Structure formats: C-alpha cells, structure tokens
Amino acid sequence: MDALTATLKVAASGLTAQSERLRIVSENLANAQSTGSTPGADPYQRKTIIFSAEVDRAVGASTVDIAAINRDQSAYPVEFLPGHEAADENGYVKMPNVNVLVEMADMTEANRSYEANLQVVKQARDLISMTIDLMRGN
C-alpha cells in the first residue's frame, strides 16, 4: 500500500503544478494585448513558472513543486499605433512580450501532463479498490 500512497502523492503534486502552470498561461493569454495606459508605459510582462523536484521523505518519493513564478525579461515588441493612448511621441506602442503561439503550445503541454497525472491517480485508486476487495475476500 505504501507504493500506492507514494504514487498518489507524486501524481497529486504533478496535478497541482500543472494546474498552476495552466493558470499562468491563461493569465498571459488574457493579457496578450494589455498595453500601458500612458505614453511610453510598459505593458503587461509575461510570467513564467519554474518547477523543482522535492524529496518527500514521508513516502520516499520525489514530488514536483513550484520553485518560482518569474517575469520574462525579453524585450517588448513595438507596434506603430499613432492614435493609441500609450503611443510615444513617434506613434509607437510597447506591446506585451507574450507570444500567443508559445502560450498555446505551453497550454497544450500542461494539459497533457495534467491528464497523464490524472490517469495515474485513477489507476492507483482502482488498484487500492481492488486490494481492498481482495482483503475482504470478495
């Protein structure tokens, strides 16, 4: 039963990590067009998430944890939008450093990882249920 407990703990940490990753990606996508409100102001800055492996000594397994949520330091692209409220004196607006294609790929990967961890939880649950049935003598 200890191996199943460890499996559930590892899968649960993966679910939590991928859920947070999906939240970050969703926030980035929601702000992909969020510019500053004054001329020359910085727009929304893309967020990134960093995972780390943590050893859970209670179950003897490595779990995933969120080490940090950072800001992407890449340059802001600029667009020529002379009538925009955030346009500088030359008509250029700093746009968020969010690439929608990258975010969509990240979302797909996080979703697949989440689903894989969910399958592990379902399989472990089924094994625990079968073990209990065997112990009852059914």
Residue 24 has pLDDT above 70, yes or no: yes
Asked if 43 and 88 touch (Cβ cutoff 8 Å), the reply is: no
* Predicted TM-score of the model (pTM): 0.86
Q: Cα–Cα distance between 129 and 136 in angstroms, integer?
A: 11
94-107: per-residue pLDDT in tens? 999 999 999 999 99
pLDDT at 79: 95
User: Percentages helix, strand, coil for the chain, rounded to the nearest 5?
Assistant: 50, 20, 35
pLDDT at 138: 60
Q: Where are the domains of the chain?
A: 2-136
Residues whose CB is less than 8 angstroms from the CB of residue 85 and which lie 6 or more positions away in sequence, other chains included: 37, 38, 39
55-83: per-residue pLDDT in tens? 988 878 899 999 999 999 999 999 999 99
Question: For the chain, how long is the longest CA-to-CA vector?
Answer: 81
pLDDT at 2: 78
